[in-house]
Structure 1
Amino acid sequence: MRRFFSTLFVLALLVALAGLSAAWYWLRQPLSLQAPSVDLSVEPGMLPRAVAQAVRDAGVDVDPRLLYAWFRLSGEAHRIKAGSYELERGITPRRLLDKLARGEESLRAVTLVEGWNWRQVRGALAKADQLRPDAGKLSDAELMTLLGRPGVAPEGRFFPDTYTYSKGSSDVKVLQRALRAMDKRLAQAWETRSPQSVLKTPEEALTLASIVEKETGKSSDRTLVAAVFQNRLRIGMPLQTDPTVIYGLGENFDGNLRRVHLQTDSPYNTYLRGGLPPTPIAMPGKASLLAAVQPAPSKAIYFVARGDGTSQFSETLDQHNRAVNKFQRGQ
């Protein structure tokens, strides 16, 4: 009898070892996918059993009961994180759980470029890969209300940067992050403003920074360009800056700024109207924000392009005319 039970024990042990060996082998075998890659969405609060079923429903040929058992026996089930995941051919059950526990979401990115206007931002979001176009369905006023800024124009309010997002995320979420980023950068810049600055509010700083962004061909000229415009504001001289006029023309601008444009009144024609335009004209980057509030100690009120990306700055009209003859007319 003792020999019989010993035999049973050995058989049971062999069966257990065979089972462990099979499980070990299965954990390291690639799962079968219905496509080269499939998208898996794990919603917040989803239980491990539901996650296993979601894997199956996403297009992975696996028994969800077996997958759920692996989640539980691993001791890692509680670490599975909500998110959007991309599962590719070759992924094993072991790698799958590791991916879910680490929260290795399938991320995409959209870049908002310094100097872009709001129309260009909308265009970039519309073309962004796997980004849900919720903002695209809203008017500017509706969108800004949704973002908690009713009555505020969207131009210049979003910080230019590269933003990552999960597949299927809303473009509104991206804009929320960009809006908060600009709020933070603007507040930081405003805290460092020069005591001699003529700017009265952070909003004025944002608008001036957007003009500096569009007027600067060389980064080293930013603070001097800002000084010119602050000096003009200080003495009541019109800003006389082409980028604001171009912005006012909108989609009607064909790339050629004509004299008639400078003579046609609009809220953004800084040749005919004094002070800053009613809104920013583009998204300024960090350097332009800082330049707007920390202009160079200069008395210049004119500048002209040298043709190499830099500008020549002048304190008097006579100096400016000589610079124009030299760098623009070749005289």
Structure 2
Amino acid sequence: MFGSRRGRKPFIAAAALLLGFMAWFLGGWYVSGPLVKEAAFRVPDGSSLSSVAAKLEAEGAISSATAFKLRARVLGMGSKVKAGEFALPAGASMAQVFRLLTGDEVLRRFVTVPEGMPSIMVYERLMANPLLSGEIAVPAEGSILPDTYEIQRGESRQAVVARMQAAMKQALAEEWAKRGKNAVVQSPQEAIILASIVEKETGKASERTMVAGLYSNRVREGMRLQADPTIIYPITKGKPLGRRILQSEIRAVNDYNTYTMAGLPKGPITNPGRDSIAAVTNPADTDVLYMVADGSGGHAFAKTLDEHNANVAKWFKIRKERGDF
């Protein structure tokens, strides 16, 4: 009886030690970590648990890489860390960090190219993005498909441009394959050029096919397109002019100004969206040849010069009443 009690003492001590270890082991997994504010953490492709743990410790997200690895292997249920960028909250425990790095809550970052953004502004937007790396040249005008693109921290700007250009090639090929019999454009490049003019001439989605039909008629008739954005492009490379167009600029002779030349300019004047490309490959079946702003954000269309002059008079009256001049 007496000896039996002595035998239980080492067992009790060992059990207490084990319980203490388990409390430390589990407690350390769930206790708040050292991060004082939210931080982005990137896991490179092909990273091992050991390399991620070392990186977490180096960046101050956990207090011990060794303790993190040990607990992750025992308590992580076989889950593996994923490549990507993750947002780690302030005070994140090891358990929270591991759950985030093995889950689907990847921090996603995007860059948007709006419809009608010229290449010089795409260049400036990408160069100003601090998450991207490397230098790029200004992309060829009309080669970028306006859209929202996901990017990764540290990704090269050239890789992003390549994705944007690949998207444009695909969209153009798809729309070109669906072109109608009334399309006046003779090649995909001509489609991009005319689509860029349509894109700049109207911001109203419902008008795109009508504007495309009007310009298609003018090309077919050998008329001058007389599109104001083609005057501006050689001056600003597509950026807003910020003032009225001068008479000398209207009379300027160059490869873009459709007031002094018939047909299409030598190249696109912006990056058109897919809807504008679709509009010029399937323009409205219409007889209109003229348009002028109608004061509501859209245009008044006309088949004859007399009708057009009447619409212009209405527009000037609206502008005068508005105090434009």
Give the TM interval when normalised to the shorter protein: 0.7 to 0.9
The change in CA–CA distance for 1:10 and 1:176 in structure 2 (over 3 A counts) is farther
The change in CA–CA distance for 1:278 and 1:74 in structure 2 (over 3 A counts) is farther
Q: Quote the residue 2:296 is aligned against.
A: 308
Q: Quote the residue 1:149 is aligned against.
A: none
TM superposition shift of 1:158: 1.5
Q: Quote the residue 2:26 is aligned against.
A: 24
Gapped regions of structure 2 (runs ≥ 5): 321-325
Q: Quote the residue 2:48 is aligned against.
A: 47
TM superposition shift of 1:126: 2.8
Matches within 5 A, 1:203-242: 203-242=189-228
- In structure 2, give the amino acid aligned to 1:57: A
TM superposition shift of 1:298: 0.3
Q: In 1, distance between residues paired with 2:126 and 2:137?
A: 14
Q: In 2, distance between residues paired with 1:211 and 1:4?
A: 96
The change in CA–CA distance for 1:111 and 1:138 in structure 2 (over 3 A counts) is closer
What secondary structure, in the 3-state scheme, does the structure 2 residue paired with 1:105 have?
A: coil
Q: Percent identity?
A: 33
Q: 1:288 and 2:276 equivalent?
A: yes
The change in CA–CA distance for 1:231 and 1:62 in structure 2 (over 3 A counts) is same
The change in CA–CA distance for 1:184 and 1:202 in structure 2 (over 3 A counts) is same
Q: 1:200 and 2:186 equivalent?
A: yes
TM superposition shift of 1:5: 5.0
Q: 1:185 and 2:171 equivalent?
A: yes
TM-score, structure 1 normalization:
0.86
TM superposition shift of 1:237: 1.4
More deviation in 48-57 or 317-326?
Answer: 317-326
More deviation in 225-234 or 209-218?
Answer: 209-218
What secondary structure, in the 3-state scheme, does the structure 2 residue paired with 1:313 have?
A: strand
Matches within 5 A, 1:38-117: 38-75=39-76, 79-117=80-118
- In structure 2, give the amino acid aligned to 1:119: I
The change in CA–CA distance for 1:78 and 1:231 in structure 2 (over 3 A counts) is same
Is the 1:48–1:77 contact (alpha carbons within 8 Å) kept by the matching residues of 2? Answer: no
Q: Quote the residue 1:151 is aligned against.
A: none
- In structure 2, give the amino acid aligned to 1:36: K
Q: How many residues align?
A: 315
Gapped regions of structure 1 (runs ≥ 5): 145-153
Q: 1:271 and 2:259 equivalent?
A: yes
Is the 2:108–2:150 contact (alpha carbons within 8 Å) kept by the matching residues of 1? Answer: yes
The change in CA–CA distance for 1:94 and 1:291 in structure 2 (over 3 A counts) is same
Is the 1:210–1:280 contact (alpha carbons within 8 Å) kept by the matching residues of 2? Answer: yes
What secondary structure, in the 3-state scheme, does the structure 2 residue paired with 1:323 have?
A: helix
Q: In 2, distance between residues paired with 1:61 and 1:138?
A: 37
TM superposition shift of 1:75: 4.5
TM-score, structure 2 normalization:
0.87
Is the 1:85–1:106 contact (alpha carbons within 8 Å) kept by the matching residues of 2? Answer: yes
Is the 1:107–1:167 contact (alpha carbons within 8 Å) kept by the matching residues of 2? Answer: no
Q: In 1, distance between residues paired with 2:268 and 2:4?
A: 91
Q: In 2, distance between residues paired with 1:288 and 1:112?
A: 15
Q: In 1, distance between residues paired with 2:109 and 2:29?
A: 29
The change in CA–CA distance for 1:306 and 1:9 in structure 2 (over 3 A counts) is same
TM superposition shift of 1:61: 4.5
TM superposition shift of 1:295: 1.0
Residue deviations 1:41-100 (CA, integer Å, cap 9, x gap) = 322222211111110111235111101112222345662112233433121111111111
Is the 1:76–1:101 contact (alpha carbons within 8 Å) kept by the matching residues of 2? Answer: no
Q: In 1, distance between residues paired with 2:28 and 2:173?
A: 55
Q: Quote the residue 1:150 is aligned against.
A: none
- In structure 1, give the amino acid aligned to 2:261: R
TM superposition shift of 1:239: 1.4
- In structure 1, give the amino acid aligned to 2:84: G
Is the 1:80–1:97 contact (alpha carbons within 8 Å) kept by the matching residues of 2? Answer: yes
Q: Quote the residue 2:132 is aligned against.
A: 132
What secondary structure, in the 3-state scheme, does the structure 1 residue paired with 2:86 have?
A: strand
